Amino acid sequence: MKIEKREPGTHWSSDLGGFRISEWADVDELLAFRDGRRASEPGSQLLFILDDRAQAAYTSGHARNKHELLNIDPESLPPSERALYEKDARFTPERWASVAVPRLRALAEETTLSFKEDLIPIDDPDIDLLALYRDPSGVFRTPLDCLTIAADEASMAIAALPNGYFQGDLTPMENYKLAEYLREGFGYEVLGLGSFLAAYVRDEPVGEAEARGVIDSVHDLYPMSDELAAEWAGMLTGQRWFLLSYRGS
């Protein structure tokens, strides 16, 4: 696996630093990389940018503006940070985290995640989620960018590149609430977020019975038959990672 360290300001829609990864063997190798970084930097969260990274950057920028997740007056910044903003139109990673994390948390406290079958079915040709389990190259594309953000809370990895912009999509706050729901219920932590995909990881692979419990817990986000739910649970069984779509209909 080839790992390139990326300095703050090199991502076109985030002021955070991170890594660019290529030539990995499989998803397990990516998970091992993530595990190692989390162990060495427990006060930092890592977010893989899934599916189309250019589209994810585009929608994240609009989502941040729409919900004022980085509503900072440059004139209020210290001189060095103000000079950076005037020169490159960006903030320091520390400033990004200090504003985006509490703002996302505050908005999430005012948000209710509803399960009303409002998302596009996972077997819709535009999603085809189970095909992505069979061939994760459409999830973790090459090169794969990941961002790091200073945050103690695992679900706040989302604040590195908040997403959920188009009508009907889960919002950044709803994506955070869903991450917390899966963390509290099944031990999943945020692994990645893209323009329409969200991925989670846990310490141990999920067994057959619990896999069905995981799927049942999110079943009502989508119109879905019991047969499709059973197939999804089968894909999840034996895996540490869990993938879903947050795209609205």
**How far is the CA of 16 from the CAs of 100, 146, 149, 159, 217, in angstroms?**
12, 10, 7, 10, 33
Report how far apart the first and last C-alpha atoms of the chain are (Å, whole number). 37
pLDDT band with cut points at 50, 70 and 90 for residue 177: very high
49-76 residue pLDDT tens: 999 999 999 999 999 999 999 988 888 9
Buried b (16+ CB within 10 A) or exposed e, 115-146: eeeebbbbbeeebebeebbeebeebbbeebbb
6-30 residue pLDDT tens: 999 888 789 999 999 999 999 999 9
pLDDT band with cut points at 50, 70 and 90 for residue 173: very high
Cut 0.85: pTM above it: yes
